[in-house]
């Protein structure tokens, strides 16, 4: 499984082991994309509240999840 399409197809398959592995891989991909775009938003001056609103979560949740990484990167 190398592409998002492959992962999505595997997640829709009948084999639970393959489907669960695909779900885990998609979750990691989503987490990586979220971190990338949160960092980008912070670099562009977005507030934690604006990021939380865009993600549909509470400000405290997104801050707790990403603040340490943002501080390490000087954001």
What integer pLDDT is reported at residue 1 of this predicted model?
46
Residue 67 phi, psi (nearest 5): -65, -40
pTM: 0.78
**pLDDT tens by residue, 41-73:** 999 999 999 999 999 999 999 999 999 877 776
- Neighbour tally for 43: CB within 10 Å: 12
**pLDDT tens by residue, 16-33:** 998 899 889 989 999 999
Where do the domains of the chain lie? 4-72
Distance CA 40, CA 68 (A): 15
What integer pLDDT is reported at residue 61 of this predicted model?
96
Closest CA to 5 of 30, 17, 22, 27: 22
Residue 15 phi, psi (nearest 5): -80, 115
């Amino acid at each position: 499984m190398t592409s998002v399409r492959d992962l999505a197809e595997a997640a829709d398959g009948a084999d639970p082991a393959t489907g669960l592995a695909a779900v885990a891989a998609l979750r990691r991909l989503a987490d990586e994309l979220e971190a990338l775009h949160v960092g980008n938003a912070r670099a562009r001056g977005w507030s934690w509240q604006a990021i939380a609103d865009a993600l549909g979560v509470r400000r405290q949740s997104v801050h707790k999840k990403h603040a340490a990484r943002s501080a390490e990167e000087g954001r």
